Chain A
Amino acid sequence: MEEHPEGHSEAYARIRSKKTLGEILEVATTFEQKAFEFYTALIPKVSKNLRYLVEELAEEEKEHYELFRKLADNPEIENQIQQRIQVPVEDHHFSDYVQLPDLGEHPDDQAILQYAMGREDAAMKQYRELADSTEPGPIHDLFEYLAYEETMHKRELEKLYYQTVYSGGPGNN
């Protein structure tokens, strides 16, 4: 099973090294595609009662992937693609208090959601960092946009997490 690329130091280095908008978007799109492939591969491995979760996650990653692809095809962005960017190196930190689980052979719904949330959280932080370390401009806007998307994605997952995990028991259905 593949580790998630976002937030990992290698991946961060990879995206940081890109100098143009187009390249950055390409890396971001790849991240989403990898996520989509990861979840799709997981679908047959989970038992049918939990499959809905993984299917929904795969669907969402696919939508994100399409979104970034469309962005790349946008003529306005194309003008900026040739600009070069200088991005200073900065320390980044993970401050997450949900343990990232090892998904194992038969993950349960909580583990899947934790993993997905962790992934979105790392991606969100990564783009946030990049946005904060970029001067105002279209690239800054792009990173802001990506950070915003990942944050929204993570929020939706958090709601789903709480609905799924903090349920059952008297008065709680």
Chain B
Amino acid sequence: MSDIPYKDKGSILRPFKSLQFFARPAVTQPLEPRPASDNYRGFHVNDWKKCIGCSTCQKVCDNAAITMVRVPGLPEDPVKGIRNERPAIDYGRCCWCGLCVDICPTGSISLTTEYVHTCREDELDSYFVLPDPNGIHGEHFPKGWDKTADADLVDLERQPMGELPGEERIDSFDEIVEGYTEQQAIVEASRCVQCGMCHDACPTHMHAPEYIRAIWEGDVEEAVRQMYRTNPFSHVCGRVCTHRCESACSIGRRGEPVAIRWLKRYAMDAVPDLRIREIAAEGKVDYISGRRIAIVGAGPAGLTAAYDLIRKGHKVTVFEALDKPGGMTRYGIPEYRLPYDRLDADVAVITSLGVQIQYNTRVGRDVTMDELRRDHDAVLIAIGLQLGRSTRIPGSDHPQVRRAVDLLRMITRGESFEVPERAVVIGGGNVAMDIARSLARLQKQQFGKVQITVCALEDFEHFLADPEEVTEAREEGIEILDSRGPKEVVIEDGRLTGLKTLGVISIFDEQGRFAPRYDQQDEQFHPGDMVIESIGQMSDVSLLGEELTERLEWNRGRLKVDEDGHSSEPWLWAAGDMVFGPDVVHAVADGHRVAASMERYLAELDSEKQDDGRTS
């Protein structure tokens, strides 16, 4: 029941009650524009320095009010994940919901407290605005609805990847990384905003947004299909790729990038090998072209080109000097990073399409380049950088001074050698970490403890090896010293006792070029039974033969090739580490470019053949 006396008829004096309003102050409003509240949702501003043009705001806008506009003059760097596009807002569609602000991965876009805009009929275009840091009228209104931590709609944390702990993994060459479960993979894949920066940054432009989406949808076969569009080495890359994609990921701007590499690993492991072969064979032509291609080197560059060419109906023969395929991915990368059976699975997909690999066949010894030229229409050499460099310091010709690549090859082949009880590794790149961690495992198996010292020229700020490798190596008991330059291998009575190093004062000169300066007074001695040099690698081009070497053009020690790997001889291409490098995914990209270049060359040959009826 209400308590309002509405039944009361009132009195005749009641209207005089309204005279009290004369006593009350009048209600006034100021004439100045009314400032909006502190978190008002007004017009947009966009910090162009923070904005990377990822277009996530465009995706979340429910009224399709945002269009990405290319602004020339802004930085554009696919490797870092920056585009020269900026969002433009159509205020006829915008409803000022602020979802764009909440989802922006970099936090660059905000809504200000400005809310007044008028235009005449001939100025209707002024509703379409490209927000910049100055605001819609350049009046620098304070920010209203801004990004806050508790309202952030992107997930900044990555799903953790399980790893064997240091003491446990040193006991074997088992793979360190455990891999994602299905639940983890779906959650990690859901973090992706599909901006495509990863695709632009990848050297071989893998369709990462597509396969991440497929993983999120639970369709791992579709994910594998998307991967095989550009990369037949997805088992390998899912474990050891240098993940340029993750460096460009827009979520990685403020948080941890999406774990694209681990998602690739998950999807490839989730589909049975035989099914992967079927998926890879989709799109293969069903005719034989009659062309024959020879590829020297069964590494990622050579085999990727083989994969592309066999799918176009050409006959491809690969000549591999060692007894198993893979090149440095097998004989350089240790098993705990890349298990051999996963590499074999990738290669098996390629051979299942019809590529022939002849093992234990060294070009230059078992078959010559001239024979290859005679029997094939095009030849690709992708022999990698199989020879290790030496520092050639005094004492480095002692038999217990070894090259890292040689030892890694022996370990992979299971060849036994005398495992040193104490070892010193010269070098600070990933190969040095690989040999140090492999030797650590062998030392643990044989002697029960690890005694390895790594001496690198670079200081830790400019270290060449991946930070994860350094951390994991330390967890495995390896001592890593920075800024030490090799001086002399100490040999006493014909036995190697250790390495003398000098301190490095500076690594780069005034122009930033690599030129170390040594401190002659800072000498240290590192005891060891073996010194392993891991300073650099070169390729063994003696297979070409003297005559061909003279005919070809060279560029500072490397075969001169154009951007498609085509050498100065029309029938000869080169790809991979030996000409471009520097890692597996670039080798895959090279393989594709070379295959496309070969295709064009062969098409020209075919058209010449048609033109004048003679064989070329």
Point out the residue from B389, B550, B559 that lies within 8 Å of A165, measured CB to CB: B389
- A168 touching B557 by the CB < 8 A rule? no
Stretch at the interface among B142-150, B442-450, B535-543: B535-543
- B582 touching A171 by the CB < 8 A rule? yes
In the complex formed, the residue of A with least CB distance to B537 is A168
Task: Tell me, in angstroms, the Cα distance from A110 to B555 when the chains sit together.
Answer: 16
Task: Tell me, in angstroms, the Cα distance from A49 to B551 when the chains sit together.
Answer: 11
- A171 touching B536 by the CB < 8 A rule? no
B580 an interface residue at 8 Å Cβ cutoff?
yes
Task: Tell me, in angstroms, the Cα distance from A101 to B394 when the chains sit together.
Answer: 11
Task: Tell me, in angstroms, the Cα distance from A159 to B390 when the chains sit together.
Answer: 17
A169 an interface residue at 8 Å Cβ cutoff?
yes
Residues of A contacting B558 in the complex (Cβ-Cβ under 8 angstroms) = 49
- B515 touching A158 by the CB < 8 A rule? yes
Residues of A contacting B515 in the complex (Cβ-Cβ under 8 angstroms) = 155, 158-159, 162
Within 8 A of B (CB), among A26-75: 47-53
B525 an interface residue at 8 Å Cβ cutoff?
no
A94 an interface residue at 8 Å Cβ cutoff?
no
What is the minimal beta-carbon distance from B398 to any residue of chain A, in angstroms? 12
Task: Tell me, in angstroms, the Cα distance from A171 to B429 when the chains sit together.
Answer: 8
Task: Tell me, in angstroms, the Cα distance from A97 to B520 when the chains sit together.
Answer: 11
Q: Mark A89-120, 1 if CB is under 8 A from B, else 0.
A: 00000000111010000000111001000000
What is the minimal beta-carbon distance from A93 to any residue of chain B, in angstroms? 13
Task: Tell me, in angstroms, the Cα distance from A170 to B390 when the chains sit together.
Answer: 17
- A97 touching B394 by the CB < 8 A rule? yes
- A170 touching B430 by the CB < 8 A rule? yes
Task: Tell me, in angstroms, the Cα distance from A169 to B403 when the chains sit together.
Answer: 13
- A101 touching B549 by the CB < 8 A rule? no
B374 an interface residue at 8 Å Cβ cutoff?
no
Number of interface residues of B (CB under 8 A): 43
Q: Is the interface of B mostly helix, strand, loop or mixed?
A: loop
Q: Mark B386-414, 1 if CB is under 8 A from A, else 0.
A: 00011111101000000000000000000
Task: Tell me, in angstroms, the Cα distance from A20 to B537 when the chains sit together.
Answer: 49
Task: Report if A98-B393 is in contact (Cβ < 8 Å); known contacts: A166-B536, A171-B582, A172-B429.
Answer: yes
Residues of B contacting A155 in the complex (Cβ-Cβ under 8 angstroms) = 509, 515
Point out the residue from A52, A165, A169 that lies within 8 Å of B431, measured CB to CB: A169
Residues of B contacting A50 in the complex (Cβ-Cβ under 8 angstroms) = 557
- A47 touching B546 by the CB < 8 A rule? yes
B385 an interface residue at 8 Å Cβ cutoff?
yes
Interface centre among B394, B464, B552, B557 (most CB of A within 10 A): B557
Task: Report if A168-B581 is in contact (Cβ < 8 Å); known contacts: A98-B393, A162-B514.
Answer: yes
Which bracket fits the contact residues of A?
Answer: 20 to 34
Point out the residue from A101, A114, A159, A171 that lies within 8 Å of B464, measured CB to CB: A171
A164 an interface residue at 8 Å Cβ cutoff?
yes
Within 8 A of A (CB), among B487-520: 487-488, 509, 513-516
- A49 touching B431 by the CB < 8 A rule? no
Residues of B contacting A173 in the complex (Cβ-Cβ under 8 angstroms) = 577, 580-582
Residues of A contacting B546 in the complex (Cβ-Cβ under 8 angstroms) = 47
- A168 touching B559 by the CB < 8 A rule? no
What is the minimal beta-carbon distance from B588 to any residue of chain A, in angstroms? 14
Q: Is the interface of A mostly helix, strand, loop or mixed?
A: helix
Task: Tell me, in angstroms, the Cα distance from A151 to B196 when the chains sit together.
Answer: 51
- A168 touching B538 by the CB < 8 A rule? yes
What is the minimal beta-carbon distance from B406 to any residue of chain A, in angstroms? 13
What is the minimal beta-carbon distance from B553 to any residue of chain A, in angstroms? 9
B242 an interface residue at 8 Å Cβ cutoff?
yes
Task: Tell me, in angstroms, the Cα distance from A170 to B300 when the chains sit together.
Answer: 14
Point out the residue from A51, A159, A169 that lies within 8 Å of B537, measured CB to CB: A169
Within 8 A of B (CB), among A143-173: 155, 158-159, 162-173
Q: Mark B562-588, 1 if CB is under 8 A from A, else 0.
A: 000000000000000100111100000
- A162 touching B429 by the CB < 8 A rule? no
- A162 touching B516 by the CB < 8 A rule? yes
Residues of B contacting A114 in the complex (Cβ-Cβ under 8 angstroms) = 392
Within 8 A of A (CB), among B438-475: 457, 464
- B509 touching A159 by the CB < 8 A rule? yes
Residues of A contacting B538 in the complex (Cβ-Cβ under 8 angstroms) = 168
In the complex formed, the residue of B with least CB distance to A101 is B392
B9 an interface residue at 8 Å Cβ cutoff?
no
In the complex formed, the residue of A with least CB distance to B560 is A49
- A169 touching B430 by the CB < 8 A rule? yes
- A164 touching B557 by the CB < 8 A rule? yes
- B389 touching A48 by the CB < 8 A rule? no
- A170 touching B582 by the CB < 8 A rule? yes
Residues of A contacting B394 in the complex (Cβ-Cβ under 8 angstroms) = 97, 99
Task: Tell me, in angstroms, the Cα distance from A173 to B431 when the chains sit together.
Answer: 13
- A48 touching B582 by the CB < 8 A rule? no
- A166 touching B393 by the CB < 8 A rule? no
- B582 touching A49 by the CB < 8 A rule? no
Residues of B contacting A97 in the complex (Cβ-Cβ under 8 angstroms) = 393-394, 487-488
In the complex formed, the residue of A with least CB distance to B511 is A159
Residues of A contacting B392 in the complex (Cβ-Cβ under 8 angstroms) = 98-99, 101, 110-111, 114
Interface centre among A50, A97, A155 (most CB of B within 10 A): A97
Residues of B contacting A170 in the complex (Cβ-Cβ under 8 angstroms) = 242, 429-431, 582-583
In the complex formed, the residue of B with least CB distance to A51 is B554
Residues of A contacting B120 in the complex (Cβ-Cβ under 8 angstroms) = none
What is the minimal beta-carbon distance from B100 to any residue of chain A, in angstroms? 38
Task: Report if A166-B535 is in contact (Cβ < 8 Å); known contacts: A97-B487, A159-B509.
Answer: yes
Residues of A contacting B117 in the complex (Cβ-Cβ under 8 angstroms) = none
Residues of B contacting A166 in the complex (Cβ-Cβ under 8 angstroms) = 389, 457, 514, 535-536
Task: Report if A49-B549 is in contact (Cβ < 8 Å); known contacts: A165-B535, A169-B536, A171-B429.
Answer: yes
Closest 9 CB pairs of A and B: A173-B581, A168-B537, A173-B582, A168-B385, A170-B430, A49-B554, A169-B537, A166-B536, A159-B515
Give me 13 other A-B pairs in contact (C-beta within 8 A), A97-B487, A170-B582 excluded.
A48-B549, A52-B555, A101-B392, A110-B392, A111-B392, A159-B514, A163-B514, A166-B514, A168-B536, A168-B537, A171-B582, A172-B429, A173-B580
A-B contact pairs, 20 of them (CB 8 A): A47-B546, A47-B549, A48-B549, A49-B549, A51-B554, A52-B554, A52-B557, A53-B557, A165-B391, A166-B535, A167-B537, A168-B537, A168-B581, A169-B431, A170-B242, A170-B430, A170-B582, A171-B582, A172-B464, A173-B581
